[in-house]
Amino acid sequence: PSPGMKMPPEKVMHASFKVGETQVLASDGNCSGKPSFQGISLTVTARDGAHAKSVFNALADGGKVSQPLVKTFFSSNFGMLTDKFGVGWMVVGPMDGGHG
């Protein structure tokens, strides 16, 4: 935040996590209003059907489901939603009997 500006307690100033060898940094931005999150969706690849359902339900809590989890030609479980923060998500389970 700007000098003298207090950080709202429900906001995240700095967060980091690793994806493989890559460190990803994130923050809530300028801490005012609700920023728009458009143009991309994040994808979670689940290890199995139960994991896909668990992740999907957790992300959907308070959000809006645009595609319920269903079997597709590429996945045993696939669904799309926007979480309560306005972030788009796709959850992809493995093909039956395989990974990914």
* Shared-domain flag, residues 64 and 17: no
For residue 71, give its domain range.
36-100
* Shared-domain flag, residues 49 and 89: yes
* Shared-domain flag, residues 24 and 66: no
Place of tokens 């992809």: 92
User: Per DSSP, what are the bridge partners of residue 17?
Assistant: 24
* Shared-domain flag, residues 40 and 15: no
Contact of 42 with 56, CB cutoff 8 Å = no
How many domains is the chain built from? 2
Contact of 63 with 83, CB cutoff 8 Å = yes
First to last CA, the chain: 41
* Shared-domain flag, residues 26 and 44: no
Token representation of residue 24? 């990803």
User: Going residue by residue through the chain (100 aa), what tens digit of pLDDT does each one get?
Assistant: 566 767 777 777 778 888 778 787 777 666 566 667 777 888 999 999 999 999 999 999 999 999 999 999 999 999 999 999 888 999 999 887 544 4
